[in-house]
Amino acid sequence: MVGYAYISGDVAFHAFRTAANSLINPATDDLGTLAGTWASFGLGINASGQVVGYALTSGNAATLPFLYSGGVMYDINNLIPARSGWDLIVAYGINYAGQIVGIGTHNDSSGFGCAGPAIWSDEAPG
């Protein structure tokens, strides 16, 4: 199960990952936030335990999509080719193959896309 919860003693929401029908254990289930952000929200998980969602920058000026994998939270914008034309905003889901679905802008136009490992495209997966 994935989601977000208010962290006691903090002033932020953090993404979490826990087993179904289990209480959240802050010591093991808190995924933290991306560097430079104050809150994170988990939205999707796959069978491998990889989590996707978004984080908020200071003053809620921007949202950054994240992938949590192997104990590390990554900004998905840093995982796609720099010249792809995409500026990703939110990651909603991830499948068993690591393909991520989310929203963003592509060459300054709103878009909905699918990302595989290190790719992001505006084509539906085949």
Mind listing the pLDDT tens digit for each residue in 74-107?
999 999 888 888 888 999 999 988 889 888 888 8
Higher pLDDT, 26 or 28: 28
Instruction: Single out the residue of 61, 96, 95, 100 nearest to residue 79, CA to CA.
Output: 100
Q: Which of 19-28, 55-64, 95-104, 111-120 has the lowest mean pLDDT?
A: 111-120
Q: Which residues neighbour 26 within 8 Å (Cβ) at sequence distance 6 or greater?
A: 7, 8
- Model confidence, pTM: 0.82
Distance CA 48, CA 24 (A): 19
Residue 56 and residue 10: Cα distance in Å, rounded?
15
What angle is formed at CA 80 by the lines to CA 77 and CA 84, rounded to 5 degrees? 100
Closest-CA residue to 98 (of 120, 72, 75, 122): 120
pLDDT digits (tens, 9 = 90+) for 36-70: 889 999 999 999 999 999 999 988 888 999 999 99
